[in-house]
Amino acid sequence: MWACIAVLYGSGLTPIFIKGTGKIGGVILFLLCFSIASLLTWLWTKTYYVINESDLFIRSGPITESIPLENIRKVKPIRSWVANAATSNQRIEISFGRYDVVHVSPLEQEIFLKELKHRCPHITI
């Protein structure tokens, strides 16, 4: 992930060092690469999960979601690369509501699962 971000930042700087790129094309490339790299950095560094008394709060960059604990039905560990609020392929799939699913990837999965089970004794793991 960090290599991808570095390549994007580097690509955004290429119009400065390489002749032949028009000013408009260089500015567009610069803005596009820096915008995407900044968004990826924000998503990667600002993803976290908080279990409080009544909700599971999920933050992934600019995206936030709050899931009432009583709506969580099922939790299971999975491996997936599907885009979601998880920064790892070793994830926890949380089913809530009628058909809603979200993936999270806390650093300490066992502790996260124990705390979730403690706060939501009705869920199946």
Measured distance CA(72)–CA(93) in Å, rounded = 11
Which pair of structure tokens corresponds to residue 121? 């004794």
Number of domains the chain is built from: 2
Q: Left if phi > 0, otherwise alpha if psi is -120 to 50, otherwise beta: which for 112? A: alpha
Distance between CA atoms of 84 and 67, rounded to whole angstroms?
Answer: 15
Task: Kindly state the average pLDDT of the residues 95-101.
Answer: 88
Q: Per the domain annotation, does 54 fall within a domain?
A: no
Q: What pLDDT is stored for residue 80 in this prediction?
A: 74
Is the domain of 39 the same as that of 80?
A: no
Q: Does this model's pTM top 0.85?
A: no
| Co-location of 74 and 40 in the same domain | no
User: Which range has the worst mean pLDDT, 3-7, 46-50, 55-59, 92-96?
Assistant: 3-7
CA dist., res. 73 & res. 39, Å (int): 32
Average pLDDT over residues 38-60: 86
Q: Which domain holds residue 28?
A: 2-44
For residue 62, name the pLDDT band (cuts at 50, 70, 90): confident
Residues 75, 112 share a domain: yes
- What's residue 55's pLDDT? 92
